[in-house]
Amino acid sequence: MSPFTVTRTLPADATAAALRADVADGLTSTPKQLPPKWFYDARGSALFEEITRLPEYYPTRAEREILIARAAEIADATGARTLVELGSGSSEKTRHLIRALPDLRVYVPVDVSESALELAGEALLAEHPRLTVHALVADFMNGLALPDDTPGPRLLAFLGGTIGNLLPAERAAFYASVSDLLAPGDALLVGTDLVKDEATLVSAYDDAQGVTAAFNKNVLAVLDRELGADFDPSDFDHVAVWNAEEEWIEMRLRARKDLTAKIPAMDLAVHFEAGEEVRTEVSSKFREEKVRAELAAAGMDARRWWTDAQGRFAVSLAVR
Ligand code: AVJ
């Protein structure tokens, strides 16, 4: 078998169909909403990379600090021979982990972006020629099946705080499906941003340079390109608010005036009153007890909890 294979479990047109379904639901409901996964076309992914380097956006640096400091402990605790990474993107975060896992034989990056998987796979193989890389083009929210050759113990990594983009019910379903996928003795490594003061959180999602605003508005450019819509991103303001009850940051786009956007591909016209908002992202912030309890509810035992020195972000290791 070639050391690098890519398996597509998403039909080529699944993405287009999913976008239409999300727009049909989300822009006709009250309040309006769109799922955050549609930010990430090539421009959106580049803007997100830029966000990770902003002074205000601490999660990426905090998580990297933890992974570097704890890679050897993670390797010891898991003895992983297979590493599965959900939402792997450029695989930058996992590089430290891969270097630290002495028994690693198979790496399974999972992402909706085939181009990201190919680039990351080639780069990793250049560094680890004996590793088998079996990339999966898949949307892991719609159930996940592992390739045949994934020797245990397996470590499944879901990093970056992306778990925070799921609503509580989706999160429970996600943990349950991960637990189903794992065998006893396999482990889950999950990165969670933590509850902290409101000013720090809001500025992480509303930076001075306006990169997050451009990232947020990019979803409108995606709708324009993919669905022939006529949104003008400059008709909307970027909004980031802390929802203290739910303990999540919400990003929204707020119409600056009354407007009607046409979405010809779907025979849809969407009206916004001046000031009306569409919620584009929820980014939940966590406390240790809640992470533990949610993992336990899915049959996983949170054995380790590591934070960065400033206590801003946590990485948990849970065993099935
Ligand atoms: C990649 C989903 C973890 O929620 O912090 C960054 C995305 N949104 N700035 C996050 C994001 C606005 C990010 N995640």
187 vs 206: CA distance, rounded Å = 35
The predicted complex's ipTM stands at 0.98
Question: Measured from the CA of 249, which atom of ligand 1 is nearest?
Answer: 4
The strand pair at 106-111 and 82-86 is best described as parallel
Residues of the chain with pLDDT under 50: 1
For the Cβ of 109 lying below 6 angstroms from any atom of ligand 1, the answer is no
Q: Mapping DSSP to helix (H, G, I), strand (E, B) and coil, where does residue 245 land?
A: coil
Q: What are the two backbone dihedrals, phi and then psi, of residue 82, each rounded to the nearest 5 degrees?
A: -125, 135
pLDDT value, residue 2: 56
Question: Measured from the CA of 160, which atom of ligand 1 is nearest?
Answer: 3
Query: Which residue among 141, 165, 253 has the greatest number of ligand 1 atoms within 8 angstroms of its CB, and so is best to mutate?
Result: 165
- Reported as a single tens digit per residue, the pLDDT across 196-220 is 999 999 999 999 999 999 999 999 9
pLDDT value, residue 90: 65
Helices (H), the chain: 14-26, 42-51, 59-78, 95-100, 114-127, 168-181, 198-204, 211-227, 288-297
For the Cβ of 283 lying below 6 angstroms from any atom of ligand 1, the answer is yes
Question: Measured from the CA of 52, which atom of ligand 1 is nearest?
Answer: 6
From atom 2 of ligand 1, which residue's Cα is the shortest distance away? 162
Question: Does 63 carry a binding-site annotation?
Answer: no
- Extract the tokens encoding 310: 């400033």
Whether the CA torsion 166, 94, 54, 138 is positive or negative: it is: negative
Model-level pTM? 0.94
- Residues found in the chain: 320
pLDDT value, residue 75: 97
For the Cβ of 87 lying below 6 angstroms from any atom of ligand 1, the answer is no
Of 55, 73, 63, 56, nearest to 309 by C-alpha is: 63
pLDDT value, residue 263: 96
Between CA 232 and CA 234, with CA 233 as vertex, the angle to 5 degrees is 90
